[in-house]
Amino acid sequence: MNAQSPIGLRISRAAPAAATDRVPVDPVVAEVIRHALNSAANQIKKTLVRTAFSPIIYEVLDFAAALYDRKLRLLAQAPTLPLFMGTLNFCVEAAIAGIGGPEKLGPGDVVLYNWPYGTGAHAQDAALIQGAFDERGALIGYAVVKAHWLDIGAVAPYCTDTTDVFQEGTFFPGVFLFRNGELVDDMYRCVLANSRLPRVIDGDIRAQATAVGIGVAELERIVRRHGKDLFEAAVERIFDHGEAMVRSYFERLPDGFYRGAGRMDSNGVDGVPIPIDVAVEIAGSEIRIDFSQVAPEQNGPVNCPLPSTISAARVAIAMLAGAREAPNEGHFRPVEVITRPGSMFDPKPPAPCFLYGWPALQAIEVIYEAISKIDATLVPACSGGDICSVVWWGRREETGEMWGDGSPFPVGHGGHARGDGCTMMHVAEAATRFASMEIMETRNPWRVEHCEFVADSGGAGAARGGMGYDMTFRLLEDTYVTAALERTRTAPAGLHGGHEGRPNGGTFVYPDGRSEPFSKVTSHLLPRGSAMTIHAGGGGGYGDPLARERESVRRDVADGLVSAAQARSVYGLECDAHCSRIDM
């Protein structure tokens, strides 16, 4: 629910609990239905993975797959891209409004929607929505897949320097792509005509349409099996359980108002750092995330539309209080989000927002920094704070055919009270991955020459930060590159006495031997023979390094994760480079 306050702030929270007149539901039956819904969402995911054309979908898992009820409440979401967690209800609502309302939707109809201020994302993240109906033709819910298309007609296949949203792609504000199961040919040809990679987009759209069809079939089957009344009553019980679980987490914390602060390198256009200040307020069993004091709309594409701002808050909280359960609408009821319309976390059209995810990632880190002031054991130290995203494209020398690919990359995560940080995708993309080197090299004109952890890149601490690494690509043909690296100027902070980790960075090396650093670049030409290295950052350390177990330091030195010099100067241990001798 969104509401406007008297002072011009927007207050957003999940729908409140429904009225109490319900069909009695056995808790075992409710669990059976909950697992059936989660299984159905996972079947959407598996269908898309098995049928998509693009590695960014079937390998990276840059998509979300979910089921919603007719009231636009989240029933189940497959584990793919967490940052889409809080956005898909906005997609469904806006897409269905675009066709004239739910009464215009019939069996077999599929709606396409990608307006960034409704999806919360850039135009490439396109949603397909299909309705589910009971035997009498009444709407019972929706299946939705939002997936990344490699190109949809922006000024470049990926952008870091756009100055308005109309440079960022072709928009489809809720249009029928299928009617009664039949492809709407005119609209389909329009979609493909606005892509540099129509063959790939063709395959991915058909895969998405198949996937939402599977989701609808499964949702209808679940409702038929249990009956509509029992199903709807079970859903309310499922939501109540998720809500109670999250509330129980915050009831154990002291009430109070806590601020977190961070910054981004730049907005991609003017090179000026951007402060990000977020407040967290805990009151009883509820938490309020307040973005009202953030920077104004930016003239570069780092504005984060409201759906993704809400999603960032939900991801941050779900990772702490969700008890490792698949999320549903009930988990979000105790979470309230406040924004200021016209700010970078609630921008208005036509503010550019191609890099919407980068401020969302920083917001999660800042929320955790605020919560660390309650109790440092609740959260990890700062991560590398980025996905080190790179998109490549060009024309194959032999055929002249256009090719394109893209991927996020892992970073080091912060140490925490329970152990060392790891190296993985940022929590906002925790269930995603990057394609294997074999697939990268098979599909694209490059060779992965080097990938190695870098000693001392993880922040020192009683619990060490996750490691950063260097990964080098050698380009075998002329290639255009768009890179979006963030947190290159700000090192990941340690927590509770831990040290900083290494920040992110990148280096281009040209055939003539010249080298130059990079962070955010668009359509940068790398001639054949050039090399590109991603210097992924490490995580911050947690706790006093002198409190780290001696054997853990020895093992880190032996594994090349910590240098003998750092072992001596920071951890207080004397050992050689291989730790063949150690002073205990």
Say yes or no to pLDDT of 583 above 50. no
Q: What share of the chain is helix, strand, coil (3-state, %, to 5)?
A: 30, 25, 45
**Spatial distance between the Cα atoms of 397 and 419, rounded to a whole number of angstroms:** 49
pLDDT digits (tens, 9 = 90+) for 162-186: 999 999 999 999 999 999 999 999 9
Say which range, 78-82, 233-237, 503-507, has the weakest mean pLDDT.
78-82
User: Given the DSSP bridges, would you call strands 505-509 and 402-407 parallel, antiparallel or unpaired?
Assistant: unpaired
Return the sign of the alpha-carbon dihedral for residues 316, 320, 324, 328. Answer: negative
Cα separations (Å) of 542 from 261, 460, 462, 561, 572? 18, 7, 6, 16, 17
Domain ranges of the chain: 22-244, 380-548
Residue 400: pLDDT band by 50, 70, 90 thresholds?
Answer: very high
pLDDT digits (tens, 9 = 90+) for 2-33: 776 656 788 888 877 765 566 789 999 999 99
Q: For the chain, what's the residue count?
A: 584
547, HSE (Cβ side, Cα atoms, 13 Å): 13
Say which range, 23-27, 203-207, 441-445, 451-455, has the weakest mean pLDDT.
23-27
The residue type of 376 is A
Say yes or no to pLDDT of 582 above 50. no
Q: Are 519 and 385 in contact (CB under 8 A)?
A: no
- Calculate helix-pair angle for 228-251, 27-51, nearest 10 degrees: 90
Residue 584: pLDDT band by 50, 70, 90 thresholds?
Answer: very low
Predicted local confidence at residue 10, as pLDDT = 80
**Spatial distance between the Cα atoms of 264 and 359, rounded to a whole number of angstroms:** 7
Say yes or no to pLDDT of 250 above 90. yes
Predicted local confidence at residue 5, as pLDDT = 61
Say yes or no to pLDDT of 72 above 80. yes
* Averaged confidence pLDDT in the chain: 94
Place of tokens 């009498």: 136
Predicted local confidence at residue 18, as pLDDT = 63
Q: Are 303 and 351 in contact (CB under 8 A)?
A: yes
**Spatial distance between the Cα atoms of 227 and 233, rounded to a whole number of angstroms:** 10
